[in-house]
Every structure is written in C-alpha cells, then in structure tokens.
Amino acid sequence: MPFILIGFVLFVAGGDKVFPGAVGKASIQTRTTMNNFLIGLFPTWQPKTNPYERTEKKLQETEKQK
C-alpha cells in the first residue's frame, strides 16, 4: 500500500516530465484537478467591515473643512 501511494505522488508530481504522450497529459490533468480542489477548500476571506472606514471619513471631513 505505501508503494502505491508513493507511486501516485510521484506520478502527479513529475509524470509529465517522465512519461510521454497521453500519460504525461493525464499527470498534468490530475495535478491541476487536485490543485483546484484544494484551493476550493479555502474560500477567499473578505472582511465583514472596512477597517479604514472611520479614518477615511475623518480625512474627508478634514479636507472639506479646509
């Protein structure tokens, strides 16, 4: 079982450089699919509030007073 896992990791990591043709393309496609899946697990974080909003308002008020 560990040999199969190690073989799979090596295939995904560098199969496109070692194997020609369709097998190399399958390695690239597998790697791309796994990358997209892992990136999809962690959605982009957006803050719920604007941390600089208060400062920006004060700057605008100061500029208007001038």
All structural domains of the chain with their residue ranges: 2-65
Distance (Å) of CA 46 to CA 32, 38, 51: 25, 19, 12
The whole model's pTM is what?
0.56
pLDDT of residue 26: 87
- pLDDT at residue 25 greater than cutoff 80: yes
CB-count exposure of residue 27 (10 Å: 0-12, 13-18, 19+): buried
Q: Give the mean model confidence (pLDDT) for residues 1-15.
A: 85
- pLDDT at residue 18 greater than cutoff 80: no
Q: Give the mean model confidence (pLDDT) for residues 29-51.
A: 85
- pLDDT at residue 45 greater than cutoff 90: no
| CA nearest to 17, candidates 30, 29, 28 | 28
Q: Give the mean model confidence (pLDDT) for residues 28-47.
A: 86
| CA nearest to 31, candidates 16, 52, 49 | 16
